Amino acid sequence: MLVSGNTSAELARLELSQSFSFWSPNFHDQTMPRHLISLYDLTPDELQSILAIAADLKARYKAGDRPQLLPGRILAQMFEKPSLRTRNSFEAAFANLGGSGIFLTTAEAGLNGRESIHDVATVLSSYSDVITMRTFSHQLIEDFAKSSSCPVINALSDDRHPCQALTDLLTIKESRGHLAGTHLVFVGDGNNVSMSLAIASAMTGMKFTLAVPSGFEFCGEFLADLRRRFPAADVHQVHDPAEAVASADFVYTDVWASMGQEEESERRKQAFGKFQVDGTLMKQAPKSARFMHDLPAKRGLEVTDDVIDGQQSIVFQQAENRMHLARGLFAWLLCPS
């Protein structure tokens, strides 16, 4: 069992390593930083390891045990987009593990053109043990990571949302007991969240269905790459949400217009109007199906109050798990032995 925060960090790390048979001193090479820009940066086994560590740390947290695994470590957060869950879950997670954090907007960091990406990444990573970035441009995170001497985590970009997908896997496993064979249905846009969930499903043996209006599907390049990496991926796209949810274990939705798409709001309302997750649609799903949403929700648009506040909803369990997943991810990245 992990020891309390009053015991030395080294002993805590030793006991943590003994808690997980998959965690060894050679778990991953620390001569080069491990980044999480996309779920493709992980192997399926590594993904499962992160989930296992997060689940164990959550259980210990609920029992009042907060092992101080990262004393003196520094988390730097650099956000271009505003945030509630992402910023606070990462900051709380790092503090719970004994570390501390700093927060910068990308403008404050100089990524608005004041300095080169290389210079900012080189300097900031020399002060930090891990960096999270929440940006519009996915390429910005990739370019930043190339010059960073510490791990860089994609906290959200227009193309990917890997930490949300990991959180959702943790929540699904808590709710259902297993991942393989589970049917996850996403009702909405082929966006960064649904793409990351499709990858997560392929990596864990889940079935994934995107119920999407015509013109908003996954692009062919994304699907081709996914099937090249995971030929057995059980990923589908349909245009009838009722058909999609008929065999769903989990029904998931997201906002119709994300940050940066405000000018498309009216067009998207028209396109997605028949893809609202309401009580009628949930009745088409099995009674055992659970409802998920990554939040923030536009109540009355993509989801109705009776669903998000109903007995089938696990959205707030999902939101809390953002912190627990972050703790597991930080421990996996920074405590390899």
Same domain, 14 and 112: yes
CATH number at residue 232: 3.40.50.1370
SS3 118: helix
Q: Give the per-residue pLDDT at 29.
A: 45
Residue 21 has a pLDDT of 42
In this structure, the answer to whether residues 169 and 132 fall within a common structural domain is: no
Q: DSSP per residue over 139-191, as a string? A: HHHHHHHHH-SS-EEEEE-SS--HHHHHHHHHHHHHHHS--TT-EEEEES--S
> In terms of domains, do 37 and 84 share one?
yes
Asked if residue 66 and residue 188 are part of one domain, the reply reads no
Contact between 331 and 16 under an 8 Å Cβ cutoff? The reply is yes
The answer to whether residues 175 and 298 belong to one domain is: yes
Residue 2 lies in a domain: no
How far is residue 188 from each of residues 155, 191, 194, measured CA to CA in Å? 21, 8, 8
Residue 155 and residue 27 share a domain: yes
Whether residue 280 is found in the same domain as residue 330: no
pLDDT of residue 7: 40
> Are 128 and 221 in a shared domain?
no
For residue 13, what are the domain limits? Answer: 9-160+322-334
| 69 and 101, same domain (yes or no) | yes
Query: Do the domain assignments include residue 248?
Result: yes
193 plus 133 within the same structural domain: no
- The answer to whether position 58 is within a domain reads yes
What do you get for the CA distance between the two ends of the chain, in Å?
16
Q: How many domains does the chain have?
A: 2
One domain, residues 197 and 290: yes
Residue 260 CB neighbours (<10 A): 11
**In the prediction, which pLDDT does 15 show?**
55
In a domain, 3, yes or no: no
Say yes or no: 184 and 119 in one domain: no
In a domain, 4, yes or no: no
Any domain includes 138 = yes
Q: What is the pLDDT along the chain (337 residues), one digit of tens a residue?
A: 343 343 444 445 545 554 544 443 334 445 689 999 999 999 999 999 999 999 999 999 999 999 999 999 999 999 998 888 999 999 999 999 999 999 999 889 888 889 999 999 999 999 999 999 999 999 999 999 999 999 999 999 989 999 999 999 999 999 999 999 999 999 999 999 999 999 999 999 999 999 999 999 999 999 999 999 999 999 999 999 999 999 999 999 999 977 666 677 789 899 999 999 999 999 999 999 999 999 999 999 999 999 999 999 999 999 999 999 999 999 999 986 5
